[in-house]
Amino acid sequence: MNLKTGFLCDESYFWHDTGNGALFLPPGGWIEADEHGESPKSKRRVKNLLERSEFINELTLITPRPATREEIELNHIPSYVNEVKQLSDTTGGDAGGLALVGRGSYEIALLSAGGAIISVDAVMEGKVRNAYALTRPPGHHAEKEQGMGFCLFNNVAVAARYAREEYGLKRIMILDWDVHHGNGTENAFYDDPNVLFISLHQEFNFPPDRGAAEDLGESEGKGYNVNIPLPAGTGNAGYLYALEKVVIPKADQFNPELIIVSAGQDASVFDPLAQMMVTADGYGEITSVVKHLAERHCEGRLVVCHEGGYSPSYVPFCTLRIMESLSGLQSKVEEDPYFEAIKGLPSDILAKHQKEAVDQVIKIQSIG
């Protein structure tokens, strides 16, 4: 049977209300009210582009279900889950550092985590070749005891813990290519040798004090935490160099049974919350590398979960290229419509200081 790539989404994800504001700040003082950076627009427009290009017809649609309270508590303490529910049931508010809860957000966050879980089910049970979960709210900043950075429940961490319990997996690799460090996921597995966590992120961005290359894990988990902090301005070439020299060797050594990706398309050249230069085609190349890793080690079992990405105009094209790579198919969108505006940028040139940043990680991780 020729399996397709799975695609999971739900209209409810677009109804999670982050209110108004500007970029990541609430209105007030000198901040004039505007559309909040983590609005549903960039995610909704991914689905719109899939439908407009008819590429959605090449995918197997997956319907999410809400995560159970017990599944959420595989990764979060009960008092925090209660806090999110209480805010969601009443006035809304902040469940941590910039973790906004709107009315009804609790149920939507359960559905977001459940979307990651059901995508794992679809891949593990052989219903799809691999899967892309267009979930919202995102999750990778969420800690066990609090939310952070637009994230309520840590979708990927919950899904990884679920996969271990449900399928008895011993080795799960989580690759986080969101431009911001996945602090919540790192903390969830910092002492765990059964989860290899690798984060590629812009150095000193958010959280500014997290994601150092020297943070290797602790206790039995030492050596299973890999941070690759990249300088501002890193583009396709820098990311591919990091994959070749760090991610592939660590994955080959670990031999994962399942790969889960925290996919933030906020390292793109047009993102307002970062300063990187990855192009839509670059995201396609990055995905191809990870897909081949999954094929080599775990029979192609790969689940990609949407995280950040705050350029409503460009995120859809980056995500489409990711899904093309996952499926091995070309959509009708043959050329990046923004290419003319960015073709002069050094996205495909590996600068000396970018190479040195990755080489420092190689040294710290004792690779080679």
Cβ atoms of 291 and 302 closer than 8 Å: yes
- What is the rounded distance in angstroms from the CA atom of residue 262 to the CA atom of residue 207? 16
Closest CA relative to residue 61, chosen from 11, 1, 136, 113: 11
Catalytic entry in 141, 180, 181, 306: 141
What would the two tokens of residue 133 be? 């979960």
CB atoms within 10 A of CB 61: 12
Six-digit token pair at 113? 């985590």
DSSP 72-94: HTTTS-HHHHHHHHHHHHTT-EE
d(CA 40, CA 280) in angstroms, rounded, equals 20
Strand partners of residue 35: 20
- Alpha carbons 112 and 155: distance in angstroms, whole number: 7
Evaluate whether 259 touches 303 at the Cβ level (below 8 Å): yes
Write the burial class of residue 330 (CB in 10 Å: 0-12 exposed, 13-18 middle, 19+ buried): exposed
Q: Do residues 137 and 36 make contact, with C-beta atoms less than 8 angstroms apart? A: no
Residue 141: active-site member? yes
d(CA 295, CA 112): 26
Helix (H) / strand (E) containing 51: helix 41-52
Distance CA 94, CA 34 (A): 18
Just list the catalytic residues.
141
